[in-house]
Amino acid sequence: MKNFFVIIVLCLFISLQAFAGLHVVTTTTELAAIATEMGGVHAEVKSLIKGSQDPHYIEPKPSYASILNKADLFIAMGLSLEIGWVPSLLTQSRNAKIQRGHEGFIEPYQGIRILEIPSGVVDRSGGDIHPEGNPHYLMDPRNGVIVAKNIAQKMAELDPAHGDSYQKNYEIFAETMNHKIGEWQRVLSKHRGLKVVTHHQTFSYFADWLGVRVLDRIENKPGIPPSPGHMVDLIKLIKKESVPLVLLENYYDPKPSQKLAGETGVKVLTLPVSVNGVETVTTYAGLFDYIVTQIVGAQ
Amino acid sequence: MFTARLMVVLFCLCLLFSPTLVLAKKKIPDQSSEGQVLLWKFNQTGNKALIPDISLIGIVSGAYFRDDPATVQWPNPTRTGFNLQAAELGIQSVVDPYIRADVFIHMLEDGLEVEEAFITTLTLPLNLQIRAGKFRARLGRENTQHLDQKHFADYSRLRRYFLGNEGLTDLGAELSVLLPVSWFSELSFDFMQGRNDVSFDSPRKQDFLYVGHWANSFNLTTNLTMQVGVSGAFGNNVTVRKLTQIYAGDLYLRWRPHERRGFKWETEYYYRSLEGAVATAKEGGVTTSMVYQFARRFEAGARFDAIGFPEDAFSQYQVSPILTFVATEFFRLRGQYNFLHTDGAGKKQHEAFLQLMFNMGPHGAHSF
């Protein structure tokens, strides 16, 4: 009986880290998808949240701290997207490597042109704003290539023995993505100037990439549900400008969009904005395949 | 005294083996060196980048008491009319590569009070962590919560009866460890001064307070999380050389399919053995609350507190329904009614609160 107890205790305490490569943890699934392609067989990648969750409003579950405790590299979007839940998890993780400023922490937006950096008086009268700019930069696949390069470089820095492999993975990824970016641009070129209303600012980078015109947003202030007055304004705008589409991120409340559809006849396109946001989207390129196909199909 | 020495030895050992000391000897990468990716840099510039996060949470309430409380009971509402329950100033920052600091100052109607002020190590080996300063003891779950974390306008009768209005907050040091198992399992040991005028307040300088807590958390499904904890506090009370022991069990269930729906069930039990000059009082109590978020901006719930399991000389129960309007993450309004029955008190007590809470600045997330 005593031996049995010892075996049980040993089993509990034997680390589950049988994998010998880099243990990578990301906040979002799109970062995880890119990191998986960069790491290849040398990295095991986990995302803390699901693709169907709004990354602004995550509760820091204790299990996240346990996952971070075993990480060699932690990748977060940054730009205050995860400010409400990541800092306390980093403290709780007790992992020296991935603390902010240490070797295993990265916010991979270096080299990206950040949009919608607020100017003038920056306070919360403007809603739940991000003072450093819009953090949804991965909605432009060209930024995904930059992020992939930054992640691959960081992996090479942490695991120089496989540096060539990470570089090669990046080159394959960049080549594939650049080819697909050309295809998506070609397919959507005839929709340039398409007028849309979106729920949140998630589609700003996407719109900037393809020349889609976001005339207004259902959340006229980020993070705050629309007022009745703003809904009236939106109805007028959609009718006046003959807006054909409302783009709705699939983790947001569908009721305001449905109301707009009921009042104006505008089509509501509910879209995933993260990898695994719907079951069929399992890669970063797959996310754009899905979105582009849906937009083309809606026209 | 043995425990105090043990803590000192453990602290020294941790510092000795800390990998960060090795890290400090490494060459810090040059920001401008080619191919180097220094991506933890912010868009902050100049001295602003070094300013700690400063926040202020104001909690104001309008209250009705059938009979006003005989004594003040801050930070709970304490009189019929207007109450400034607290204005909590938070100053939080990473101090250096090895520690972070969190300071919370309560500005009350009649003065200032340091609610918490502690440092937390970030880089100790073996999954260890030390907190030192003034902090809330990890006894049960509710004692660790600030008022702004609560889904009710006041603290439970359980906490107020066994630990006082302000709870068990004291100067001391804490050693905790994240156990290397596949679920979240955290063991902590608090070594504290022992100043709590309800259960621990020994007049002897050599009497300290010891608190142990073991928390475990499990994801039952993707959206359902359970946390269970057991804890105990041991120290002498105001009667010389007489021991107080408090044992606590806490259970928390959280269901959250998305940000517009959610359910929380928190339950906590305390058992206290308090030795007196003549006899030992053995008392227990429970608090249990359920809160359902039924829309993005609304949540409703109720709390039930009961003292008298087992019963000594005091028996009491309270029922408290609430309705909260969460305008934004930073502003909320809450209505609460308390029905309080105390054995032998004659009249039933009725209380009603309308509480307003606002948050300015970046206030660090509280633990789960």
SS (H, E, C) B338-368: EEEEECCCCCCEEEEEEEEEEEECCCCCCCC
Strand partners, B353: B63, B336
Q: Percent of chain A having pLDDT more than 90? A: 80
Shortest CA distance from B331: residue in chain A: A124
Q: CB neighbours of A2 closer than 8 A, spacing ≥ 6?
A: none
> How do the domains of chain A map onto residue ranges?
19-182, 187-298
Per-residue pLDDT at B6 exceeds 60: no
Of chain B, the percentage scoring pLDDT greater than 70 comes to: 87
What pLDDT does A118 receive? 87
- Coil vs helix vs strand at A114: coil
CATH level 2 (architecture), domain B61-82+119-360? Beta Barrel (2.40)
Q: Which residue has the higher pLDDT, A100 or B368?
A: A100
Kindly report the nearest CA distance between residue B220 and chain A, in angstroms: 11
Mean pLDDT of all residues in A278-295 = 95
Give the end-to-end CA distance of chain B in Å, rounded to a whole number.
34
- Average pLDDT of the segment spanning A21-33: 97
Return the DSSP state at A68.
H
CATH of domain A19-182: 3.40.50.1980
Is B219's Cβ below 8 Å from some Cβ in A? yes
pLDDT for B244: 96
CB A104 within 8 A of CB A71: yes
Using pLDDT thresholds of 50, 70 and 90, give the confidence band for residue A161. Answer: very high
> In the predicted model, what is the mean pLDDT of residues B194-211?
92
Amino acid of residue A28: T
pLDDT of residue B19: 43
Per-residue pLDDT band for A131 (boundaries 50, 70, 90) equals confident
Straight-line distance from the first to the last Cα atom of chain A, in angstroms, rounded to the nearest whole number: 70
How far apart CA B198 and CA A52 sit, in angstroms, is 48
Q: In whole angstroms, give the CA distance from residue B165 to residue B134.
A: 17
Give the Cα separation of A88 and A90 in Å (integer): 5
pLDDT digits (tens, 9 = 90+) for B272-287: 999 998 999 999 999 9
CB-nearest to B40 from A65, A107, A131 is A107
Residue B346 is predicted with a pLDDT of: 80
Q: What is the pLDDT averaged over residues A83-103?
A: 93
Q: Cβ–Cβ of B367/A60 closer than 8 Å?
A: yes
Give me the mean pLDDT over the A4-29 stretch: 68
Which residue of chain B has the CA closest to A102?
Answer: B97
Q: How much is the pLDDT for B27?
A: 36
Q: Does position B204 have pLDDT exceeding 50, yes or no?
A: yes
Q: How far is B181 from chain A (nearest CA, A)?
A: 5
Nearest CA distance, A194 vs chain B (angstrom):
31
Asked if pLDDT for residue A5 goes beyond 70, the answer is no
For B22, nearest residue in chain A (alpha carbons): A96
Res A18: pLDDT? 63
Concatenating the DSSP letter of every residue in B157-192 gives HHHHHHH-TT-SEEEEEEEEEE-SSSSEEEEEEEEE
CA atoms of B271 and B252, how far apart (whole Å): 18
Residue A42 token pair: 């040398």
Beta A213-217 vs A195-198: how paired, if at all?
parallel
> Which residue's structure tokens are 């904005």?
A273
* CA-based torsion, A102, A104, A106, A108: positive or negative: positive
C-alpha to C-alpha distance for B118 and A92, rounded to whole angstroms: 15
Instruction: Give the span between the Cα atoms of A83 and A96, in whole angstroms.
Output: 19
Q: What is the C-alpha to C-alpha distance for residues B74 and B68, in angstroms, rounded to an integer?
A: 13
Fill in the amino acid letter for B158.
L
Q: Is B194 helix (H, G, I), strand (E, B) or coil?
A: coil
Cβ separation of B40 and A101 shorter than 8 Å? yes
Q: How many interface pairs between A and B have CB atoms less than 8 angstroms apart?
A: 130
The position carrying tokens 């609430």 is: B322
Average pLDDT, chain B: 88
pLDDT tens sequence across A182-197: 999 999 998 899 999 9
Q: Give the pLDDT score at B311.
A: 84
Per-residue pLDDT tens digits for A149-158: 999 999 999 9
User: Any idea where the domains of chain B sit in the sequence?
Assistant: 61-82+119-360
Contact A128/B180, CB-based, under 8 Å?
Answer: no
Residue B21 has pLDDT above 50, yes or no: no
Residue A71: pLDDT over 90: yes
Q: How many CA atoms lie within 13 A of A140 on its CB side?
A: 23
pLDDT value at position B329?
A: 86
Q: Give the whole-angstrom CA distance, residue B83 versus residue B355.
A: 9
CATH number given to A187-298: 3.40.50.1980
Q: What's the CA gap between A237 and A226, in Å, rounded?
A: 15
φ, ψ (nearest 5 deg) of residue A32: -65, -40
- What integer pLDDT is reported at residue B20 of this predicted model? 41
pLDDT over 70 (residue B15): no
pLDDT the model gives residue B362: 82
User: Hey, which bits of chain B come out as E strands?
Assistant: 53-65, 81-94, 99-108, 111-121, 128-136, 169-178, 184-192, 195-196, 200-201, 209-219, 224-236, 243-258, 261-275, 280-295, 298-307, 316-328, 331-342, 349-360
Q: Percentage of chain A with pLDDT > 70?
A: 94
| Of residues B206, B214, B212, the one with CA closest to residue B191 | B212
pLDDT tens for residues B206-260? 899 999 999 999 999 999 999 999 999 999 999 888 999 999 999 999 999 988 8
> What integer is the mean pLDDT of A265-275?
95
Task: Find the range with the poorest average confidence among A17-21, A60-64, A242-246, B204-208.
Answer: A17-21
Give the strand pairing for B316-328 and A245-249: unpaired
Per the prediction, chain A carries an average pLDDT of: 91
Chain A residues in contact with B294 (beta carbon < 8 A): none
Cα nearest neighbour of A52 on chain B = B258
DSSP A49: S
| Three-state DSSP state, A247 | strand
Contact between B263 and B255 (Cβ < 8 Å) = yes
Q: How far is B283 from chain A (nearest CA, A)?
A: 32
Put simply, the answer to whether B296 touches A117 (Cβ < 8 Å) is: no
State the pLDDT at residue B42: 41
At residue B205, the 3 state secondary structure works out as coil
Reply yes or no on whether the pLDDT at B22 is more than 80.
no
| Digit-coded pLDDT (tens) for B29-60 | 333 333 333 333 344 445 566 789 999 999 99
Question: Mean pLDDT throughout A45-50?
Answer: 96
Which of B35, B122, B218 has the CB atom closest to A99's CB atom? Answer: B122
Report the C-alpha gap between B156 and B336 in whole angstroms.
13
Partner residue facing B39 (CB), from A50, A59, A107? A107
In this predicted structure, the answer to whether residue A121 has a pLDDT above a threshold of 70 is yes
Partner A, chain B 241-270, Cβ-Cβ below 8 Å: 254, 256, 258-260
Q: What average pLDDT does range B159-170 have in this prediction? A: 95
pLDDT of residue A75: 98
Distances in whole angstroms, Cα of residue A257 to Cα of each of A31, A214, B240: 28, 15, 69
Q: Is the pLDDT score of A226 beyond 70?
A: yes
Is the pLDDT at B4 greater than 70? The verdict is: no
